[in-house]
């Protein structure tokens, strides 16, 4: 192939094979006629008898063979006459440019019109099929827009020019033809998320909310002599954390024709995309959510040491990390939480920390490339997890979280992802209504510390 065209040698080979086939059949026909003539002469010399094949029967057989031979020769003549036409069509220089509606796209335009007529019920016996290059050009130019159209006014409206283009390749009911040249593979955009579902405590509930008693003070006690009075001591107090299961939803739609004709499983693709989006949506809320129709985030509580407050530790450097600030953060955490403590930083925060050196010029970051900890990075001996919802280093930004996240934060799940397939409400679209119910909140404020960038 050269420039999308079949080369001359290939065309010549095709012509040679076709002509050779015709010549062979012609030779076979000539031989058959010759043998029939010899057979007739032989039979004419035989004595006439009732049980011997008559000349009349031979003549009838010969005539039948000759009729078929003549028909075959006529067909071969037509084949020979069209060889040049085939070669010309195969070698057209603009054949590969059929998407642009040029003459070379005549075959593709013919097939497009054939599919369109079959789709809208006008393909009947004897119906005239006229190639429509403008239609296939418009359809291919606008197919990508169809795949990523936006809802407008709640009706998924399409731009007028786009509607006109689609109508050239759609049936009256709105079913769209799917171009066969679309790849079965989708190059998907990568998204970053936060691992709160992995590091926090998760509980499945059977009601709309979960109440968790919270110990907020210790009991009073003291030393006393043998005969001294025993006055009343302080009674510990309890608080109550209430975590509501909030609702997430998604409602993508696709035409029935798209679901039937697309080169990929559109329904499975939509389900996976919705599931991934739900995961990122809730992960973000677990860190930054304001608690209004969504979980309350770990990073949204004010600085302090009391109930409803999370201690913030200065980073030790202007809008960035400092070695001393990280050490201060570790030692602000109480010993009971230290055993299961870990760090949360975003990707750029990890980059900055990885560049820090101690007084001897050695990097404090441990990339974990050892036999005991293959690929597990640590900071001051504690595991590090990437969380995109942690802020990038900056003045006043919460740049890192450190602590026992299972003790600090609880996630409740009332309902996993469920999907209702609705082909009736918005015909010809099929709506995939998905929803999930999840909540989350801090339940132990002292189990985690936050690092804040110094001004």
Domain end position, chosen among 91, 109, 128: 91
> Mean pLDDT over residues 134-150, rounded?
60
Q: Is there a single domain that holds both residue 103 and residue 83?
A: no
Q: Is there a single domain that holds both residue 87 and residue 103?
A: no
Note the pLDDT of residue 165: 45
Residue 297: closest CA among 390, 199, 435: 390
> Which of 17-21, 35-39, 156-160 comes out lowest in average pLDDT?
156-160
Q: Is there a single domain that holds both residue 284 and residue 252?
A: yes
Q: Is there a single domain that holds both residue 311 and residue 329?
A: yes
| Between residues 152 and 78, the one the model is more confident about | 78
Supply the mean pLDDT for the chain: 76
Domain end position, chosen among 71, 91, 111: 91
- Is residue 187 assigned to a domain? no
pLDDT at 374 over 60: no
Domain extent for 308: 197-216+238-455
Asked whether the bond before 408 is cis by omega within 30 degrees of 0, the reply is no
The 3-class SS string of the chain reads CECCECCHHHHHHHHHHHHHHHHHHHHHHHHHHHHHHHHHHHHHCCCCCCCCCCHHHHHHHHHHHHHHHHHHHHHHHHHHHHHHHHHHHHCCCCHHHHHHCCHHHHHHHHHHHHHHHHHHCCCCCCCCCCCCHHHHHHHHHHHHHHHCCCCCCCCCCCCHHHHHHHHCCECCCCCECCCCCCCCCCCCCCCCCCCHHHHCEEEECCCCEEEEEEECCCCCCCCCCCCCCCCCCCCCCEEEEEEECEEEEECCEEEHHHHHHCCCCHHHHHHHHHHHHHHHHHHHHHHHCECCCCCECHHHCCCCCCCCCCCEEEEEEECEECHHHHHHHHHHCCHHHHCCCEEEECHHHHHHHHCCECCCCCECEECCECCCCECCCEECCEEEEECCCCCCCCCCCEEEEEECHHHHEEEEEEEEEEEEEECCCCCCEEEEEEEEEEEEEECCHHHEEEEEEEC
In the chain, the number of structural domains is: 3
**Using 50, 70 and 90 to split pLDDT, how confident is the model at 271?**
confident
Q: Is there a single domain that holds both residue 273 and residue 348?
A: yes
Question: What's the pLDDT tens digit per position in 189-230?
Answer: 566 778 899 999 999 988 899 988 877 778 889 999 988 898
Q: Is there a single domain that holds both residue 117 and residue 74?
A: no
- Is residue 233 assigned to a domain? no
pLDDT at 431 over 60: yes
| Between residues 231 and 238, the one the model is more confident about | 231
Q: Is there a single domain that holds both residue 73 and residue 118?
A: no
**Using 50, 70 and 90 to split pLDDT, how confident is the model at 385?**
very high
Q: Is there a single domain that holds both residue 266 and residue 379?
A: yes
Q: Is there a single domain that holds both residue 156 and residue 265?
A: no
- Is residue 60 assigned to a domain? yes
Is residue 138 within 8 A of residue 145, CB to CB? The reply is: no
This prediction has a pTM of 0.57
pLDDT at 312 over 80: yes
- Is residue 293 assigned to a domain? yes
Q: Is there a single domain that holds both residue 106 and residue 74?
A: no
- Is residue 232 assigned to a domain? no
- Is residue 36 assigned to a domain? yes
Note the pLDDT of residue 262: 79
Domain end position, chosen among 34, 64, 91: 91
Note the pLDDT of residue 123: 65
**Using 50, 70 and 90 to split pLDDT, how confident is the model at 366?**
confident
Q: Is there a single domain that holds both residue 317 and residue 338?
A: yes
* Exposure on the CB side of residue 165, measured as CA atoms within 13 A: 16
- The pLDDT > 90 percentage for the chain reads 32
- Is residue 450 assigned to a domain? yes
pLDDT at 62 over 70: no
- CATH number, domain containing residue 290: 3.30.2400.10
The highest-confidence range among 15-19, 147-151, 373-377, 432-436, by mean pLDDT, is 432-436
> Which of 10-24, 214-228, 422-436 comes out lowest in average pLDDT?
10-24
**Using 50, 70 and 90 to split pLDDT, how confident is the model at 56?**
low
């Amino acid at each position: 192939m050269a420039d999308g065209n079949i080369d001359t040698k290939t065309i010549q080979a095709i012509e040679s094979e076709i002509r050779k086939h015709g010549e062979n059949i012609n030779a076979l026909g000539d031989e058959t006629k010759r043998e029939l003539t010899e057979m007739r002469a032989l039979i004419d010399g035989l004595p006439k008898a009732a049980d011997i094949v008559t000349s009349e029967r031979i003549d009838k057989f010969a005539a039948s063979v000759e009729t078929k031979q003549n028909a075959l020769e006529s067909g071969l003549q037509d084949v020979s006459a069209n060889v040049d036409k085939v070669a010309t069509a195969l070698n057209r220089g603009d054949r590969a440019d059929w998407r642009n509606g040029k003459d070379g796209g005549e075959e593709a335009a013919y097939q497009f019109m054939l599919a369109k007529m079959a789709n809208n019920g006008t393909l009947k016996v004897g119906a005239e099929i006229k190639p429509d290059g403008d239609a296939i050009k418009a359809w291919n130019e606008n197919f990508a827009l169809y795949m990523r159209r936006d809802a407008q006014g709640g009706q998924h409206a399409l731009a007028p020019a786009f509607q006109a283009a689609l109508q050239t390749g759609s049936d009256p009911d709105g079913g769209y033809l799917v171009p066969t040249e679309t790849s079965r593979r989708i190059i998907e955009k990568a998204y970053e998320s936060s691992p709160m579902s992995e590091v926090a405590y998760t509980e499945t509930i059977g009601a709309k909310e979960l109440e968790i008693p919270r110990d907020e003070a210790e009991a009073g006690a003291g030393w006393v002599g043998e005969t001294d009075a025993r006055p009343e001591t302080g009674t510990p107090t309890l608080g109550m954390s209430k975590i509501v299961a909030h609702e997430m939803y998604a409602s993508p739609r696709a035409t029935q024709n798209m679901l039937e004709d697309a080169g990929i499983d559109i329904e499975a693709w939509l389900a996976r995309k919705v599931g991934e989006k739900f995961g990122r949506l809730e992960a973000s809320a677990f860190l930054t959510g304001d608690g209004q129709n969504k979980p309350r985030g770990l990073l949204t509580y004010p600085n302090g040491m009391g109930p409803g407050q999370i201690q913030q530790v200065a980073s030790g450097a202007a809008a960035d990390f400092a070695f001393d600030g990280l050490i201060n953060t570790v030692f602000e955490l109480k010993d009971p939480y230290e055993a299961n403590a870990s760090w949360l930083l975003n990707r750029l925060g990890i980059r900055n920390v990885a560049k820090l050196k101690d007084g001897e010029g050695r990097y404090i970051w441990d990339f974990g490339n050892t036999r005991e900890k293959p690929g597990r990075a640590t900071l001051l001996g504690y595991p590090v997890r990437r969380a995109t919802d942690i802020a990038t280093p900056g003045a006043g930004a919460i740049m890192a979280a450190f602590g026992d996240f299972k003790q600090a934060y609880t996630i409740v799940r009332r309902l996993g992802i469920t999907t209702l397939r609705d082909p009736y409400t918005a015909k010809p679209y099929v709506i995939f209504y998905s929803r999930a119910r999840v909540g989350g909140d801090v339940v132990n404020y002292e189990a985690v510390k936050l690092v804040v960038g110094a001004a």
